[in-house]
Amino acid sequence: MQSYADIAKGDVLLSVKDVSLSFGGVKAIQGVSFDIRKGEVRAIIGPNGAGKTSMLNVINGFYHPQAGEIMFKGIRRPKMKPYEAASGGIARTFQNVALFKGMTTLDNIMAGRSLKMNVGLFWQMLRFGPAEREEVIHRRRVEEIIDFLEIQAIRKTPVGKLPYGLQKRVELGRALAMEPELLLLDEPMAGMNLEEKEDMCRFILDVREQFGTTIALIEHDMGVVMDLSDRVVVLDYGRKIADGVPDVVKADKTVIDAYLGVAH
Amino acid sequence: MFYREAGQFKTSYETDHATFPIRQDQIGIALILIAAVALPFVSSSFAMQTVMLPSLALVVAVIGLNILTGYTGLISLGSAGFMGVGAYACYKLTTLFPEVNILVWILCSGFFSAAIGVFFGLPSLRIKGLYLAVATLAAQFFLQWAFVRIPWLYNYNPSGAIEVPLRYLPFTEIAITGPTASLEVKYLVLLAFVVVLTWVGSNLMRGRIGRSFMAVRDMDIAAQLMGIRLLDAKLMAFAISSFYCGVSGALFVFIYLGGAEAGTEFSIRLSFLMLFAVIIGGLGSMIGSFLGAFFIVALPTILKFGAPAIGIAITGATAEKIVFMTIGALTIYLLIVEPHGLARLWQIAKQKLRAWPFPY
């Protein structure tokens, strides 16, 4: 595992500068800046309604901020559509599982490879030659991910029938199938029991280790956040109130106040 | 017991994702194909004309609608209109260029229908569900209007109908359309179209394109994040679906009916019937498209001619009403209880067969 000193020196993969986002009169994010360095696990935490999910939506192009700029891989990013963010190398999982419910685990993860498949309609119609070869190549990669996440047994089960913990795991698999540079995880451990949480933590660390993926995650379980992440950014009411290594953030007066409330 | 894949090991991904990975299925489909080819020589010409020909022609359109509604999740009520486009395109093409074989024109008419389908599919990016159904309904009414009001489409025939000319199989003297075409030939031509288009459709739906359609249906936001462009996927679905509808319309008029007036044939009633066929057969299933189309076509015939045969006196008009009631009730029942329709029942049967004689 990389130490904090390594990461602090690392290249900035994504930086968010003075980003503000509002929906009508509601200011979801106000002048937030932070950066995500290559290879780190970056946590975004904060109380409910702090703007964490909005922040992820800004990063992967669902929302366009009214002010501020986003630099990804050193290039200032124009307004982009979610599929452009996807082809740029940003993958994402959702707070409430957003799997393709009618499809099998295998098809879900294969769908994650859509961007990498490009054989045209003609060969697809015949399912022959290039189409068949491409299908097998990607199937092989998908099977590696299935092995990695230990979900071989549910390969051909429609995901709608799976228990919640496994659905979360399949969703992680689908995001990994995109071979992203930056993986955004929105509450990957919400609603899980202790054992499932531990499994998920192990997968997240292994993903970083094996694939070298940079990870930004939102999580409410403070134990998990403090153990997993290299750096933490804390949002409250759309503003950034703290940013740094877990130990510093944990001791920060404003963070404690935001979570526990202030005595008046 | 008879349907058990134990001992059939898959050693490569090719065999694992083959169209029919299980040996019993391969044998089954081969038997069905042989039976289908042999059918016209053993079956009565009445059953062929009233059930088999219209079912096979409609199967193609139902597969098309299933690709749009079942696989991509976009409801369309314009499918009969798109069938009409295919029929008229084929009529214009074969009267303008009679030297080109009719089979080529039947396939080409699908492209005209696809283009019209893409145009009417454009609103699907912004509107979903019921509102999209209404938008496609507009397509249905506009197209129906065009078929009646634009005499150029039916070559200014005083009857206002398509008069199917005599056309032959390539390099032979065997008629496939027109009054002298024999039932057997018509049936086998239809069968060939159905087999090829089903195979192509199933290939498409199991590959990247099919997965992107289902992804759009199940969770369009996540689909975008996988790099799937919604507009492309939806328009592609409309194009493929309308292509199938167009080919089906051309087959329906040229091979089954042998002449048609679009105002009556390609009406909203047919659009609804096809949507019901998709729901009854099974959303998002190829085999369901077959079951649904055969059900919709066979039910009226069975009621009208089957019931008197076993001694139940029933008039044609009553049978018609019973058909509508049955289809309506069944559609509602299936929507609530089993959205995967008859295809799901077939799957359950397979599951039971696997364990038979044990309960599980």
Residue spans of the domains in chain A: they are 1-89+180-264, 98-179
CA of A28 to nearest chain B CA: how many angstroms apart? 20
Can you name the CATH fold of A1-89+180-264? Answer: Rossmann fold (3.40.50)
Instruction: Please state, for a pLDDT cut of 90, what percent of chain A lies above it.
Output: 64
Helix pair angle (B286-301, B268-281), 10° resolution: 120
Name which residue leads in pLDDT, B240 or A96.
B240
Say yes or no for a CB contact (<8 Å) between B225 and A60.
yes
Q: Name the A residues in 35-94 with CB < 8 Å from any B CB.
A: 60, 62, 81-83, 85-87, 91-92, 94
- Pairing type for strands A231-236 and A239-244 reads antiparallel
Under a CB-based contact definition with an 8 Å cutoff, are residues B65 and B80 in contact?
no
Rounded CA-CA distance A65/A71 in Å is 13
DSSP B164: P
In a domain, B126, yes or no: yes
Characterize B133-150 residue by residue with b for buried, 16 or more Cβ atoms within 10 angstroms of its Cβ, and e for exposed: bebbbebbeebbebbeee
ipTM: 0.90
Task: Answer whether residue A5 shows pLDDT above 60.
Answer: no
Instruction: Give residue B7's identity as a one-letter amino acid code.
Output: G
Rounded CA-CA distance B28/B73 in Å is 30
B119-137 pLDDT, tens per residue? 999 998 888 888 999 999 9
Give the 3-state secondary structure of residue B337. helix
Cα A27 to chain center, whole Å? 23
Under a CB-based contact definition with an 8 Å cutoff, are residues A112 and A173 in contact?
yes
Give the 3-state secondary structure of residue A163. coil
Task: Answer whether residue B213 shows pLDDT above 60.
Answer: yes
Task: Answer whether residue B322 shows pLDDT above 90.
Answer: no
Q: Which of A63-77, A116-130, B63-77, B166-180 has the highest mean pLDDT?
A: B63-77
Q: Taking residues B78-93, what's their average pLDDT?
A: 94
In a domain, B239, yes or no: yes
Q: Which residue has the tokens 């009553």?
A: B318
Q: Taking residues B167-191, what's their average pLDDT?
A: 89
- Pairing type for strands A67-72 and A239-244 reads unpaired
What is the span of the domain harbouring residue B321? 46-355
In a domain, B18, yes or no: no
Under a CB-based contact definition with an 8 Å cutoff, are residues A40 and A230 in contact?
yes
A187-226 pLDDT, tens per residue? 999 888 999 999 999 999 999 999 999 999 999 888 889 9
Under a CB-based contact definition with an 8 Å cutoff, are residues B189 and B255 in contact?
yes
Under a CB-based contact definition with an 8 Å cutoff, are residues A211 and A205 in contact?
no
Name which of A75, A78, A91, A110 is nearest A186 in CA terms.
Answer: A91
Name which of B237, B281, B288 is nearest B74 in CA terms.
Answer: B237
Task: Answer whether residue B106 shows pLDDT above 50.
Answer: yes
Say yes or no for a CB contact (<8 Å) between B217 and A102.
yes
Task: Answer whether residue B235 shows pLDDT above 60.
Answer: yes
Name which of B180, B171, B80, B70 is nearest B120 in CA terms.
Answer: B80
pLDDT at A1: 45
Under a CB-based contact definition with an 8 Å cutoff, are residues A14 and A21 in contact?
no
Instruction: Give residue B188's identity as a one-letter amino acid code.
Output: L
Rounded CA-CA distance B309/A195 in Å is 66
pLDDT at B340: 86
Rounded CA-CA distance B135/B316 in Å is 35
A232-264 pLDDT, tens per residue? 999 999 999 999 999 998 888 888 888 887 776
Rounded CA-CA distance B47/B37 in Å is 15
Sign, CA torsion B218/B220/B223/B229: positive
CA of A95 to nearest chain B CA: how many angstroms apart? 12
Say yes or no for a CB contact (<8 Å) between A125 and B284.
no
Nearest 5 degrees, angle CA B154-CA B155-CA B158? 80
Name which of A178, A192, A167, A28 is nearest A104 in CA terms.
Answer: A167
Q: Which residues of A touch B227 (CB under 8 A)?
A: 83, 86-87, 114-115, 178
Measured CA to CA in angstroms, residue A252 lies from A47, A55, A260, B256, B275 at distances of 15, 22, 12, 80, 61
A113 CB neighbour count, 10 Å cutoff: 24
Rounded CA-CA distance B189/B177 in Å is 10
Task: Answer whether residue A71 shows pLDDT above 50.
Answer: yes
- Which CATH number covers residue B344? 1.10.3470
CA of B319 to nearest chain A CA: how many angstroms apart? 37
CB pairs under 8 A between A and B: 100
Q: Which residues of A touch B214 (CB under 8 A)?
A: 100, 102-103, 107, 111
Whole-prediction pTM: 0.92
Task: Answer whether residue B229 shows pLDDT above 60.
Answer: yes
Rounded CA-CA distance B214/B210 in Å is 6
Q: Which residues of A touch B5 (CB under 8 A)?
A: none
Does residue B229 belong to the interface with chain A, where contact is any CB pair within 8 Å? yes
pLDDT at B331: 86
Counting the structural domains of chain B, the total is: 1
Q: Who contacts A122 (Cβ-Cβ below 8 Å, separation ≥6)? A: none
Number of Cα atoms under 13 Å in the Cβ half of residue A181: 15
Give the 3-state secondary structure of residue B221. helix
Average pLDDT of chain A to the nearest whole number: 90
pLDDT at A3: 53
